[in-house]
Structure 1
């Protein structure tokens, strides 16, 4: 197998990080990923129970969660915690307002 250098590859047209544009990042740089679907979950709380307890639940049952009233809820994007927020009502529908953005340890920020 022959060793290939960078000059042997075609330019894909995909902008990559370069020393000249490190400080010139904008939302337009993310345009290629704007249409990528993501799964967003707002978790009010969690509860753990056995299958037999689960089968006893019926209409009107109350499920106790591990959170207190007024405590922030967790917001996940693709099963990754990204923020915390509060439940709000918007036009008779439930919504979430983000109150804290969670920075991951491996993002280098």
Structure 2
């Protein structure tokens, strides 16, 4: 008798789920302004973040942290397009390497 496959088993190269798009959110930092300061903001206002420009960014799928990386500009093309070079990737257990 065949054993049922585990829902966590690796997907084969031709598995249809591999073709599904997912949304990855890149977090570059957070701000915690007071409401009164937000109400004063208009075009051209600057909101400082809790990170520096060289700090790693975090990649999330939903609420789950899946990786960290560095912001980079893609060479060629239109110029100015951002990308992320991964520096740490989460293991299946959820911890980062």
Same fold per superposition (TM over 0.5) = yes
| 3-state SS of 1:71 partner | coil
CA deviations over 1:63-89 (Å, ceiling 9, x no partner): 111112211010111221100011111
How does the TM-score come out when normalised to structure 2?
0.71
**Aligned partners of 2:92, 2:13: CA distance in 1, in Å?**
23
Q: Tell me which protein shows more helix as a share of its residues.
A: 1
Aligned residues: 88
Partner of 1:102: 90
Structure 2: runs of 5+ lacking an equivalent: none
Moved over 6 A (4+): none
Q: Which has the larger Rg?
A: 1
How does the TM-score come out when normalised to structure 1?
0.64
Partner of 2:13: 28
Structure 1: runs of 5+ lacking an equivalent: 1-6, 8-14
1:36 Cα offset (Å)? 3.0
| 3-state SS of 1:88 partner | strand
